[in-house]
Structure 1
Amino acid sequence: MIHRKITQQIMADLSYFPAVGIIGPRQVGKTTLARWLQHQLTKPCLYLDLEDESDRSKLQSAGFYLEAHVDKCVIIDEIQLMPQLFGQLRSLIDRQREPARFILLGSASPSILKNFSETLAGRIAYSELTPFSAEEVVEQTPLQSHWLRGGFPNALFAPTDLLMRRWTDNFIETFLQRDLQSLGYEIPQTLMRNLLTMLTQVNGNILNVAELSRSIGISQPTIGKYLDILEGSFLITRLQPYFANIGKRLVKSPKLYVRDSGILHRLAKINSYEDLLGNLSAGGSWEGYVIEQIRRTVGSDYQFFYYRTQVGAEIDVVLITPSGKKIGIEIKLTNAPTLSRGFYESRRDLSLSQSYVVVPESEFYQKEETVWVTGLMCFLKEVLPKFNE
């Protein structure tokens, strides 16, 4: 098994919290990780898969069944299929509060199970298992392949490009045909597919909900609801703007990214690395890919924003460390980057302590005072860890 970066945090959580949630999209390796965790715990474990009819039937009277296994760590897979269990788990935990009573695996964010998942507040610690990050698989696959195929294991390690494309198509179809329905959303498949396809065209750009609404023919509130569902299903993310009291008019809408680059490229019908480099969307794809890799490296203690004024001064990422330090990150799909006047203006506006230009491959070097150029892997492995020092 390829080592996942979050395992250390999950083991620490299991030593303290009664329940630990491992969330992330389907087919990302949550079950594999849970099976591995079974062998790391000192107490016996019981695994239940809610996609299995026999396991679901055992939990129809969950209180009686689970009380018979109070000595075990109970692993419940695809918890979003029976969200009513959260209330019963709370009762069981409150009667016998001890670490590692439950491990809950879910393919939906707590944000779209809010009415149920909040019942475990104070009793559960969540960790997101993402598709493989570049840092996790750098020894197994080139960066170019990871960017093209994305981080889902079955896509990344498919023996041929054809099988990679077939797996990705099946993943998208399963999401549209089954996953949305299992979460209780009755959304026409054609409508959601059209929205997903349109999002590939705005990937890396300022989100214009009104324009999406006109293009698809549904209301702006409905577009907002669908975007929330896609974000809660780990398919997209919205990068919020950084607001600073600097006396300038700032862009206030988020930027949108499809989180997995392989999903993005398949929806956009990009089938090879040569296709990707020749596509007009390559710059936005690379930008979103870099942001996602940084997120997977630093975890949830860092804050991510972008900065842009109404007159066009912009910096791709304003990264705020847990200590409050502001780092500027400009992302370029070239190993010989040039920087715009808007970049320097943004640095002055924000009083950034350090700025980095992240490119595909480059030695780490200082471009000018407080501005450094670095390849992505160098930035992930050598630069980011220094921010915690």
Structure 2
Amino acid sequence: MIPRRLLSTLTAALAEVPAVALLGPRQAGKTTLALAVADTRPSVYLDLESEADRTKLADPELYLAQHADKLVILDEIQRAPQLFQSLRGLIDKGRRRGQGRGRFLVLGSASMDLLRQSSESLAGRIRYLELGPLDAGEVEPRQLDALWLRGGFPESLLAESDAVSLRWRSDFIRTYLERDIPQLGPRIPAETLRRLWTMLAHSQGELLNAASLARALAVDGKTVARYLDLLVDLLLVRRLAPWHGNVRKRLVKSPKVYVRDSGLVHALLGIADGEALLAHPVAGASWEGLAIEALIAAAPPGTQVYFFRTAAGAEIDLLIERPGERRPWAIEIKRGLAPKLERGFYAARETVKPIRCCVVYSGRERFPLAEGIEAFPLPELCAELARP
């Protein structure tokens, strides 16, 4: 098992609150992480996609009350959202008996319905944690090229060949479109959603142009917004918001949009191997998306993230506002081994006045690039961001 950064955070959360929701896309490693926690304490694991386990919960309060002294792990909770009401009663009874922490760990795909059910029933009793695929701060530096090409889903990253990995990702996309999304409720034509997902991969890291997407899909703008919201809720797509400081500049107001896993970007575009990736126009944006996901995952809980761009061309790829710091970190992302900064970055730095300026690049050494600006390998900057 590749160690996951979130393990210590999950363990700490279970020591502080009655219920923890571990949310993320399918196959990201949620069950493996939950079972690692289960190995350290008395636990019971129930998979709600299993008919036998769902039968055990025909009377959930009776069954779960029998395991009041154990951590109860409920996998694929979106299959039985009605359980949240029962969990609320059991948590409140446990609190009155002094059993108020670490009772339940629920795992599921992050959908609007799931969040709505739990927020209505477990307000003040649950903490949400997000587990994405493996990122550049969690793998060995020698695996970074494979991570970029194949993405961070463990079965894809660790496949025996690039061809096997690509087939896995293609199957993953098809299963999401044809099975998983319909189970969550929305009735969306699978082919339409695939076309949107593919168009987002083609425009990786660009400003959202909903009108252009709507025209290409022959639907209206509200429909595109609804489809995009779904992909964001499932943690498959990220909308990176623009930074709006108190500055007298004409700032860009549209978000940037990224398909969050680089391997899915490449599968949607039919990129089969490293040579094809390096020759493809999406290579730079794909690397940028990989870096952004890793840096956001490495940053402390409560961190806010943005990009900065003005109409005059001043731009910073990523601004990270860590809790307790009055000014953000400014991070520029470059794919090559000899990173160079454009005039727009320096202009943006004068406006934002960041606490630190960093450049991520593809090399292996950290070095000063200019006055007040350091160049970092991606894994090393992930570690730097995680420090207090």
Aligned length: 382
Report what 1:344 is aligned to. Answer: 346
Contact 1:335/1:361, CA 8 A, preserved across alignment: yes
Give how far 1:362 is off: 4.4
Match of 1:205 in 2: 206
Q: Name the CA shift for 1:149/1:59 in 2 (closer, same or farther; >3 Å).
A: same
Query: Any residues of structure 2 matched to 1:244-259 within 5 Å, and which?
Result: 244-259=245-260
Conserved in 2, the CA contact under 8 Å of 1:239 and 1:255? yes
Q: Among 128, 131, 144, which residue is 1:129 paired with? A: 131
Alpha-carbon distance in 2 for matches of 1:64, 1:153: 37
Q: Determine the C-alpha separation between the residues in 2 that align with 1:117 and 1:281.
A: 38
One-letter code aligned to 1:243: H
Q: Distance between the aligned counterparts of 2:241 and 2:256, measured in 1?
A: 7
Alignment of 1:234 with 2:235, yes or no, is: yes
User: In structure 1, what residue type is equivalent to 2:339?
Assistant: P
What's 1:298 paired with? 299
Provide the rounded CA distance (Å) in 1 between the counterparts of 2:380 and 2:17.
35
Cα contact 1:46–1:75 (8 A) shared by 2: yes
1:368 corresponding residue in structure 2: 370
Alignment match, 1:2? 2
Q: Which residue of 1 aligns with 2:92?
A: 94
Distance 2:35 2:379 in 1: 30
CA displacement, residues 116-139 of structure 1 (integer Å, 9 cap, x when unaligned): 010212111222122112222216
Aligned to 1:73: 71
What is the rounded CA distance, in whole Å, between the counterparts of 2:43 and 2:370 in structure 1?
56
C-alpha displacement at 1:113, in angstroms? 2.3
Which residue in the other structure is 1:18 paired with? 18
Report the equivalent of 1:331. 333
* Structure-2 separation of matches of 1:101 and 1:362: 44
Please state how far the C-alpha of 1:78 moved relative to its aligned partner: 0.2
Structure 1 Cα separation of the partners of residues 356 and 333 of structure 2: 14
**Local SS of the residue matching 1:122:** coil
- Residue 22 of structure 1 aligns with an amino acid whose one-letter code is L
Partner in structure 2 of residue 58 of structure 1: 56
C-alpha deviation, 1:112, in angstroms: 4.3
What displacement does 1:367 show? 2.1
8 Å contact kept, 1:362–1:373 = no
The TM-score, its normalising length taken from structure 2, stands at 0.95
RMSD: 1.5
> Is 1:213–1:223's contact at 8 Å kept on the other side of the alignment?
yes
5+ residue gaps, structure 1? none
Aligned mates of 1:385, 1:73 — CA distance in 2: 28
In the alignment, the residues of structure 2 paired with residue 357 and residue 89 of structure 1 have an alpha-carbon distance, to the nearest angstrom, of 46
Moved over 6 A (4+): none
Determine the C-alpha separation between the residues in 2 that align with 1:79 and 1:144: 34
Q: Secondary structure at the match of 2:73?
A: strand
CA distance in 1, matches of 2:364, 2:59: 59
- Counterpart secondary structure, 1:348: helix
Contact 2:300 2:322 (C-alpha < 8 Å) held by counterparts? no
Residue 44 (structure 2) aligned to one of 43, 46, 49: 46
Shift in Å at residue 244 of structure 1?
1.8
> Secondary structure, in 3 states, of the residue corresponding to 1:380?
helix
Q: Which amino acid aligns with 1:51?
A: E
State the SS of the aligned residue for 2:147. helix
Distance 1:246 1:193 in 2: 39
Displacement, 1:264? Answer: 0.8
Equivalent-residue separation in structure 2 for 1:130 and 1:218 (angstroms): 30
Of the structure 1 ranges 61-70 and 47-56, higher mean CA displacement relative to structure 2 is found in: 61-70
Structure 1 CA distance for aligned equivalents of residues 245 and 69 of structure 2: 52
CA–CA distance in structure 2, aligned partners of residues 137 and 337 of structure 1: 23
1:265-324 Cα shifts (integer Å, max 9, x gaps): 110111111111111111111111100010121143221100001122111011112122
2:358 and 2:147 mapped to 1: Cα distance?
22
**Does the CA contact (< 8 Å) of 2:136 and 2:291 recur in 1?**
no
String of CA shifts for 1:211-248, please: whole Å, max 9, x gaps: 11111011111111111111111111010000122211
Confirm or deny: 8 A CA contact 1:112 1:232 kept in the other structure.
no
1:17-46 CA-to-partner distances (Å, cap 9, x unmatched) read 1111111111122111222211212xx321
Identity %: 45
Which amino acid in the other structure matches residue 10 of structure 2? I
